[in-house]
Amino acid sequence: MHSFGYRLNGLLTFAVTILALMCVIASLSDNLNIPSPSAEIQIMNINWFQKQPKGSDEVSLRMNISADLQSLFTWNTKQVFIFVAAEYETRKNSLNQVSLWDAIIPAKERAKFWIRSSNKYRFVDHGKNLRGKEFNLTLHWHVMPKTGKMFADKIVMSGYSLPEEYI
């Protein structure tokens, strides 16, 4: 601690090191939060169900998504990224996941919502397996922190099925 510059350097280094420690502890404090989210998805309507010229099935559906994800937010949360995926099984693949819709929730106040929307992304199969297919709709979320570890989890909702014939 000899000169002005030496002390300034020492202060800034120590301050930044302690700041890094504070961020680590802030991230660890996220583990104290036990979230209790809830969600429900209704398929209001199957808009159309076609076979594409190349031969793959494609569905367009209109969903009513309602969720209460407020308990996911902590003081260290920047935003929550959610997406809805359709999951089903075919002869070729034990698990197919197709992302239908996603959104970014920037604040806790916006985390309790309902939205009616058709699928943002195309629900296309690898093949012609969708007729009469039973599938799950899963709501995934990624809690993105301001600093530290990101948490991800999901709710699986089952019991949905597609029509037997093309519409």
Q: How many CA atoms lie within 13 A of 106 on its CB side?
A: 0
CB 67 to another protein: min, Å = 22
Q: Which stretch binds another protein (CB under 8 A): 17-25, 46-54, 110-118, 128-136?
A: 17-25
| Interactions with another protein, residue window 29-88 (CB under 8 A) | 29, 75-76
Q: Which stretch binds another protein (CB under 8 A): 6-14, 42-50, 81-89, 133-141?
A: 6-14
26 or 155: CB nearest another protein: 26
- Rounded CA gap, 124 and 152, in Å? 25
Structure tokens at 39: 């969600």
Judging by beta carbons within 10 Å of its beta carbon (0-12, 13-18, 19+), is residue 40 exposed, middle or buried? middle
Contact between 106 and another protein per CB under 8 A: no
